[in-house]
Amino acid sequence: MPPASSATDSIDAGADDFTFMTWIKYGDTTGSHAILWAYRTGSGTTPQVWLRAEPESKRIRALMAVDRFNITVQSPSAYNDDQWHHVVLQRAGGRLRLIVDGVEVSSAAAPPGSVTAGKEFGVQGIHIGQRVDGANRFHGTVDDVRVYRRALSTKELDQIRLTNQPVPGELGLRLPFESVS
């Protein structure tokens, strides 16, 4: 049997708790703009996780699909004011939580199960600023994307949001986007 860890294992959320986070800045008033899209696209029951801005509907919305179930959470605002906003999508203790600028704006019971369905993960991965198939490109700026294979505490989320301090433990991906060309 091959070793349990590989490059793709580092961002495979599977059936465990996870924390996806990033900073966004945009001003569009129409369209659907993928912020983070993980693992797959397809029907609502294809294992996947996504987070997208939907300014026309005045919201940021996220979906988590596992097995035969999916759950969505959404914000009460699109946050499309051309200001920086810290956005977190987290599965923690059986809940899917959407947190913007340190405030939980929505949560719902999350069904158990894998968001990657095993082998599909290696092919699809995580896409930033567009869906896995290249559609719904984000019209704005995304910065400091992080994926943790665990639920970060409120204190840890604040530490990152307020001081950009590193938080140890199961960081699978960090893209700080130090320079833009």
Residue 22 lies in a domain: yes
pLDDT tens over the chain, length 181 residues: 233 333 345 666 767 899 999 999 999 999 999 999 887 666 555 778 899 999 999 999 999 988 778 899 999 999 999 999 999 999 999 999 999 999 999 999 998 887 776 544 444 578 899 987 888 999 999 999 999 999 999 999 999 999 998 898 888 888 888 765 5
| Angle value at C-alpha 109, between 60 and 86, nearest 5 degrees | 30
Total domain count, the chain: 1
Residue 180 lies in a domain: no
d(CA 103, CA 117): 30
In this structure, are residues 88 and 81 in contact, taking their beta carbons and an 8 Å threshold?
no
pLDDT at 78: 97
Residue 2 lies in a domain: no
Residue 110 lies in a domain: yes
Mean pLDDT over all residues of the chain? 85
d(CA 170, CA 23): 20
Residue indicated by tokens 């665990």 = 150
Residue 1 lies in a domain: no
The domain of 141 spans: 8-175
pTM for the model stands at: 0.87
